[in-house]
Structure 1
Amino acid sequence: MTRIFHTSDLHFGAEDPAALDWFAETVRTEKPDAAIVTGDLTQRARRSEFRAAAQYLAALPVPVSVEPGNHDLPYFNLFERFVRPYRRVERAAKMVEAEIDLADCVVVPLKTTARFQLRLNWSHGNVSSRGLARSLRLAQAVPDDKMVIIACHHPLVDIAETGTKGRTRGGEEALRRLSACGAQAVITGHVHTPFDVTHRLDGGGSIRLIGAGTLSERIREHVPSFNDIEIVNGDLSVRHRVA
């Protein structure tokens, strides 16, 4: 059996200390095989926020992988956003986009953030050809006896259950190609609303889409939470846990 705690949108700078303490204590007590954070470590990408987030995650006694979120790119320093957009995220360098190889699965990162886009709202997701190619290479290298789970910040397609429209560019095509390379599930954040749905792919087949809530004060309709994912004999189950 493999067990993963999947959380997202910590938003240090607008974090919920009680929720963070609860999550950290649950990790220490229950000792999952890994913790995956699907983006938005910070609220405004400030150095102090990244420092606090990195210290918090480094203290978790399990392997951790972190995906950058749109809130993790510089908001006020446009030069840094365009030239070195992920420089501040490097405070958590060993954890950022780390591939996690576990007994029953491999968690493969996929970047969905962009330093700029040809549309007004740059917070929406974007799958670049370069980022997708890297994830496809990693997915193809996973042994057949292990499940492939893709981790990214933005839901790759809009999820009706969340009531939001992420409009991730290239998302549907990415799902189709990742599924063809063996991916069976995609775990995401961004919308602060947990979900677990089966998405039917164009041309046939399906893929599991799993979203985490938030551990910040920026809650919407749901209280702070995380996903407790278990893989047993090739079957994946999700338990949504609330603070």
Structure 2
Amino acid sequence: MIVVAHLSDPHLGAHDGETVESLVADVSAAAPALTVVTGDWTMRARVSEFELARALLVRLPRPVLTVPGNHDLPLVSPLRLLRPYDRFRTWICDDLEPIARVPGLTAVGLQSMPRWRWKDGRVTRRQVAAVAGAFGAAPRGDLRLVALHHPPFGRGLAGRGPLLRAGADLLLAGHTHIPDVRTVGGTVVVVAGTSASHRTRGVPRSWSRISVDAGMVTVVERFSAGSGWRTGRLISVPLSATAS
């Protein structure tokens, strides 16, 4: 069995401090093989917020695979045009499209936030080719995972069609602040809710514990409750035979 912890949208700078403390303990208790954070570490990409993000990052169970979200680029600043990802690279991860390999799992991160878009995302053909190449080089039988900020449904991600045909078994995203699990084009898609932000959208703060075993993906949604966390929905979805 492979266990992945999936967090998104902590929005440090608009966060609940008590939740951050209990979040680290709750994620650590799951003993994940990989921790994935699908962006929006900060609220407005300020240095002070990235300092908080770094302090959280180093406490999460390792290895950690992470990508930037739309809030991790400066909103109104010359940096938006000249060096939009510099602060993310400095404080979080120098590689905007990292690859993580643990036994039984090959995971690829995608940078889905172009500097010329304010909120919606985009995946290019070059990125899709890189994903397919990483999966082609993966050991036979590995679970193939893609992580990016924007979910591959609705209108928020251009280029999602080719991405969904790149061979991923599991795709992790955030951005919406609302946890979700569905199968899209043969790929199991898990969207994590906001993990620490005050900017909730009708559901409590949450993160998702994902386990994959015997051809099934089981997602346990963990919701903040007082000074701790409780188990919410438990959703099981079969891996698609065409993806795996």
- TM-score bracket relative to the smaller structure: 0.7 to 0.9
The answer for the alignment partner of 1:142 in structure 2 is 138
- The aligned length equals 222
Report the secondary structure of 2:169's partner residue: strand
| Mapped pair 1:212 → 2:212 | no
TM-score, with length taken from structure 1: 0.86
1:39-89 deviation digits (Å, cap 9, x = unpaired) = 100000001111110111112242111110010011121x21122111000
Within 2, Cα distance between the matches of 1:48 and 1:9?
A: 17
Within 1, Cα distance between the matches of 2:95 and 2:116?
A: 24
Q: List alignment gaps of at least 5 residues for structure 2.
A: 225-244
What RMSD over aligned residues (CA atoms) do the two structures have, in Å?
Answer: 1.6
Report the secondary structure of 1:100's partner residue: strand
Letter paired with 1:146: D
Tell me by how many angstroms 1:235 deviates: 2.7
Q: Indicate conservation of the 8 Å contact 1:2/1:102, yes or no.
A: no
Within 1, Cα distance between the matches of 2:102 and 2:28?
A: 18
Q: Indicate conservation of the 8 Å contact 2:68/2:111, yes or no.
A: yes
Report the secondary structure of 1:24's partner residue: helix
Within 1, Cα distance between the matches of 2:97 and 2:207?
A: 19
Report the secondary structure of 1:22's partner residue: helix
Letter paired with 2:30: E
Within 1, Cα distance between the matches of 2:146 and 2:30?
A: 24
Q: Indicate conservation of the 8 Å contact 1:67/1:151, yes or no.
A: yes
Q: 1:172 aligns with which of 161, 164, 170?
A: 161
TM-score, with length taken from structure 2: 0.85
Within 1, Cα distance between the matches of 2:100 and 2:180?
A: 22
Tell me by how many angstroms 1:36 deviates: 0.5
Q: List alignment gaps of at least 5 residues for structure 1.
A: 159-165
The range that moved more, 67-76 or 101-110, is: 101-110
The answer for the alignment partner of 2:227 in structure 1 is none
Within 2, Cα distance between the matches of 1:66 and 1:238?
A: 19
The answer for the alignment partner of 2:229 in structure 1 is none
Q: Indicate conservation of the 8 Å contact 2:45/2:71, yes or no.
A: yes
Within 2, Cα distance between the matches of 1:147 and 1:89?
A: 28
Report the secondary structure of 2:52's partner residue: helix
Tell me by how many angstroms 1:217 deviates: 0.8
Q: In structure 2, do the counterparts of structure 1 residues 136 and 5 end up closer, same or farther at CA, with 3 Å as the change threshold?
A: same
Identity %: 33
Letter paired with 1:66: T
